[in-house]
């Protein structure tokens, strides 16, 4: 079974990345693509530090909440959301269709650039045998 890897760079737009995740999950369920459509997100290293900082701020806010009013504590908790990120978000998508599903594979490759969260992004499709395929495959396997 040949694999095709697509990579999308969302930059710092976490909302678009979540829309893309939602769209992919919807397609996996609707078209029964459980093993044929796999995706993983890669976030920048500074994004992890931002999330850890937000968690520590949230813990300190819970401690100070007892002394402050509930309204003031809620406003501070909303300002330090863990979902807010400063790093870039990349989506790596693997299509794994068998040899007799070539038409379906081609339809999916045409579908991504036409759908909303992916429309504004440039998709980079890498097929087996192309330069950079092994590196992209190793990167995809290394992601959680």
Confirm whether pTM is higher than 0.85: no
* Residue whose tokens read 């959680």: 144
- Tell me how far apart the alpha carbons of residues 25 and 57 are, in angstroms, rounded to a whole number: 32
Residues 98-116 pLDDT 10s: 999 999 999 999 999 899 9
pLDDT at 73: 44
**CATH number assigned to the domain with residue range 2-44+89-142, chosen from the 4 options 2.60.40, 2.40.400, 3.30.70, 2.130.10:** 3.30.70
CA 7 to chain CA centroid, Å, is: 10
Q: CATH 3.30.70 residue ranges in the chain? A: 2-44+89-142
Name the residue among 66, 62, 75, 90 with its Cα closest to residue 6: 90
Point out the least confidently predicted range of 73-77, 83-87, 88-92, 94-98: 73-77
Residues 15-40 pLDDT 10s: 999 999 999 999 999 999 999 999 99
- Tell me how far apart the alpha carbons of residues 75 and 56 are, in angstroms, rounded to a whole number: 16
- Tell me how far apart the alpha carbons of residues 144 and 103 are, in angstroms, rounded to a whole number: 30
């Amino acid at each position: 079974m040949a694999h095709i890897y697509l990579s999308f760079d969302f930059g710092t737009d976490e909302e678009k990345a979540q829309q893309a995740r939602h769209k992919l999950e919807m397609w996996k369920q609707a078209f029964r693509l459980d093993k044929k459509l796999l995706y993983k997100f890669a976030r920048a290293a500074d994004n992890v530090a931002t999330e850890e900082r937000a968690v520590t701020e949230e813990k300190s806010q819970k401690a100070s909440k007892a002394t402050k009013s509930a309204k003031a504590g809620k406003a501070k908790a909303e300002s330090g959301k863990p979902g807010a990120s400063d790093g870039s978000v990349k989506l790596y998508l693997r299509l794994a269709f068998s040899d007799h599903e070539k038409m379906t594979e081609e339809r999916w490759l045409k579908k991504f650039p036409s759908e909303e969260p992916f429309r504004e992004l440039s998709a980079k499709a890498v097929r087996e045998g192309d330069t950079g395929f092994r590196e992209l495959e190793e990167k995809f396997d290394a992601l959680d």
